[in-house]
Amino acid sequence: MSPVSVMASSSSVLCEDQLQCSICLDVFTDPVSTPCGHNFCMICLKQFWDSSSPCQCPICKTFFAKRPELCVNTFISALAAPFRESSKSSSTADERPSKTKKVVCDSCTEKKLEAVMSCLHCGVSFCNTHLIPHKTTAKLMKHKLMEPVENLQDYICQKHERPLELFCRDDQTCVCQFCTEGDHRTHDTVPIEEASAEKKIQLEKTQAEVQQMIQEKLKKIEEIKHTVALMEKNTEEEKVDIVEIFSALMSCIERRLAELLGVMEEKQKAAERQAEEFIKDLEQEITELKRRNTELEQLSHTEDHLHLLQIYPSLCSPPHTQDWTDVTINSQLSVETMRRVLSQIHQTVRVEIKKLAASIKLKRIQQYAVDVTLDPDTANPYLILSDDGKQVTCGDKRQDLPDNPERFNQCYYVLGKEGFSSRRFYFEVQVSGKTAWNLGVARESSNRKGNITACPKNGYWCVCLRNMTDYLACESSPACLSLPYFPEKVGVFVDYEEGLISFYDVDAKSHIYSFTGQTFTEKLYPLFNPCFIDRGNSSAPLVICPVSHILA
């Protein structure tokens, strides 16, 4: 059998305790043998002999006149190697960072070595060398040893100076054996190991609770971070919207300002033209007056008395001129004009703000756009659906279709395939070229047979067009809608949790109508009615359009 096989076989028979140094109580490292046949780690035996005199075996106390030469026992070293490697791996796996201070041996007189054990009976800590008596002397071997600690007095009963080996459940404190014969005689006491095990179970529960709390706090932090990120995104979007609004308003005000300045300049030019005409008339009158003055001057010096008397009647009064006393030039805008201009600016700004606000609101709503496809199983037999399920028109012939429970059999309705029972959704429908139509949403359980009155009470929320120009909100009593434009594309928005259904003119970016304060408890489906073709009118289809998020 090979040496390796021998070692493997030996390892399977030997146990770790048989290959431990009696000084350090660990698997042999560089094992050496004394003449008396006992084995130790080389460094352990050297330290023991360095601290003791005379030289003797730590176990059998055999004296040696001369310190023996020590050589590593390769056979024992080979046997110990697997156990030593296993011990290293185990200690590495169990290693935990320690913040305790280094505990030194209380028995070392010169160089203080690190303690390896503390004795609760002796109340001191020992290094490997000074611990040997506790491992070899029968009386000392009964002492209770523990990992070295700096505050050893905390592990000893201050009253009886005995190890704290028991735990009093009544007083929730550690006691010694003597305490159970005195103050704690009638109390429920158990070994500290048992009490510690119980406390560990409780600690594990507390730790689980703490870890759960940590996870909840971390989750909350993530929620807060997500909220802040969302707020930041929304803030940036709102900044863009605000800049857009103010830019549009500034453009509007600048246009009105340019118009006002134009009016003022035209007023000034008109005043200048009027002034030029006045000056021209005045200059002509002055010329005439100067000529008359010259004639009067000449006549006043004449010696021809007959001539003077003959022409006097024509020169005795000044020539006729215009009365310029109340004639003025006013180039300033009147207060009424200024008020009218400012009122126009104010009205324009209000209209622009309303328009821009609706435009921005619509842009945000369009973020909830969903892909809607028509459900042929719900379509009235007169309705004709396109192959892609995006268009519907009303034909003049009834199709031979099964009258399943989902199908509308009398009213010209069709639903979308997908229903929605939470959050928000939005879709757009082209209605141009039609003289009548119905659009909205319907409750899943709403009646689909016979003549249907579309209103919220019956599970229908719609707006409709009748007679080319009559727009109605389908309430219990239909409400007439006054729209500034005829919509060519209608947007339908639903906020399920808020109980809100709103309709928008997509091109005009304006609000048409809203059903508010509704309560939904089941799925809502998009609803379409292209209406019956009346003498060729309203033959254009209703078309479900892809949603554009561009704000014009």
pLDDT mean across residues, the chain: 85
**What Å distances lie between residue 185 and 172, 173, 295, CA to CA?**
14, 14, 155
Give CA 135 to chain center in angstroms: 65
b/e per residue 149-166 (b: at least 16 CB within 10 A): beebeebbbeeeebbbbb
Q: Give the model's pLDDT for residue 96.
A: 45
Q: Give the model's pLDDT for residue 99.
A: 42
Q: Give the model's pLDDT for residue 1.
A: 44
Helix H or strand E segment including 48: helix 42-51
Distance CA 550, CA 552 (A): 6
Distance CA 258, CA 261 (A): 5
Closest CA to 464 of 528, 510, 533: 528
CB atoms within 10 A of CB 22: 15
Q: Give the model's pLDDT for residue 535.
A: 53
Distance CA 492, CA 514 (A): 10
Distance CA 325, CA 318 (A): 17
Amino acid at 12: S
Q: Give the model's pLDDT for residue 334.
A: 65
Q: Which two tokens stand for residue 261?
A: 């300045």
Q: Give the model's pLDDT for residue 472.
A: 96
Indicate if the alpha-carbon torsion angle 510, 515, 516, 522 is positive or negative. negative
pLDDT tens-place string over residues 26-70: 888 889 999 888 898 888 888 888 877 778 888 888 888 888 888
Pairing status of strand 383-385 against strand 414-415: unpaired
Give the phi and the psi of residue 479 in degrees, each rounded to 5: -105, 125
Query: In order along the chain (552 residues), what is the average pLDDT of each group of 10 residues?
Result: 43 67 84 89 85 81 86 86 72 47 84 88 88 88 86 84 88 90 90 90 92 93 91 85 81 82 84 91 91 86 84 81 82 68 79 76 88 96 95 91 93 95 94 93 95 95 93 94 92 95 92 94 96 68 83 40
pLDDT tens-place string over residues 163-212: 888 999 999 999 998 899 888 989 999 998 899 999 899 999 999 999 99
Distance CA 318, CA 313 (A): 11
